[in-house]
Amino acid sequence: MKLLTALLFSLSASFAAAAEREAFDQAKPGALPPGWTRTQTGEGKPVWTVVADPSAPSQPNALKQSGTASYPLALKEGTALKDGFVEVKFKPVSGEEDQAGGVVWRVKDAGNYYIARANAIEGNVRIYHFLNGKRTQFKGANLPVATGQWHTLRVEFAGSQFKVVFNGKALFDAEDATHKDSGKVGLWTKADSVTLFDDFSYGAK
């Protein structure tokens, strides 16, 4: 047990040392933050804008997705992660069809990537791969995801192994070998979800 604890601490420390963090606080409200690209999987028109939000974990701004599309994406330009982690704080605000927020990694393009997301309407956290625009779930857990509250979603990944952590609690490990190469990281919502994001961070292993 002591050896396992030491190994986990060492792994967390290596992630922390390599981490990049963005809180959107230096970006101009009303626009997409510099260094980000807006796109989507499927049809629709995502709307990603920096907004001032007094509830944001890191004041004063957050990144808001308020458009409607099959799967809105915001990708961090210049990233190329194969093994490492991605994490974000998010708040589901509204949505009749969905109230979802997630992180993506190993993004090749808008149709090929990994996604872990939480959904307040469904009450679950799930991990998927997208292959040529088709979404396939390979693990998940049912639990409350409160609307109007900030949550933390984190995924650690190495090779075909994944660990999903929600609000500081490890939910499940998963395995999938669909995407093996490095790719971009970013953020994701679904359908008519209006979601706020803050404290986005990522790092290589």
Q: How far apart are CA 78 and CA 202, in angstroms?
A: 12
Q: Tell whether omega for the bond before 29 is within 30 degrees of 0, i.e. cis.
A: no
Per-residue pLDDT, 17: 46
**CA 154, 137, 162, 180 torsion: positive or negative?**
negative
List the structure tokens of 112: 């090929």
Mean pLDDT over each residue of the chain, to the nearest integer: 93
> What is the per-residue pLDDT across 124-135, written as a single tens digit (0 to 9) for each?
999 999 999 999
User: What are the start-end ranges of the E strands in 5-111?
Assistant: 20-22, 36-45, 48-52, 61-65, 68-76, 84-94, 100-109
Beta carbons within 10 angstroms of residue 52's beta carbon: 12
Cβ distance 61 to 43 under 8 Å? no
**Measured at the alpha carbon of residue 176, what is the angle toward residues 187 and 202, in degrees to the nearest 5?**
35
> What is the per-residue pLDDT across 21-78, written as a single tens digit (0 to 9) for each?
999 999 999 999 999 999 999 999 999 999 999 999 999 999 999 999 999 999 999 9
Helix (H) or strand (E) holding 8: helix 2-18
3-state percent helix, strand, coil for the chain, nearest multiple of 5: 10, 60, 35
Q: Report the share of the chain in percent with pLDDT over 70.
A: 91
Q: Selecting from 3.40.50.1390, 1.10.1370.10, 2.60.120.560, 1.20.1250.20, what CATH number does the domain 2-204 have? A: 2.60.120.560
As a whole number, mean pLDDT of residues 121-148 equals: 98
3-state class of 91 per DSSP?
strand
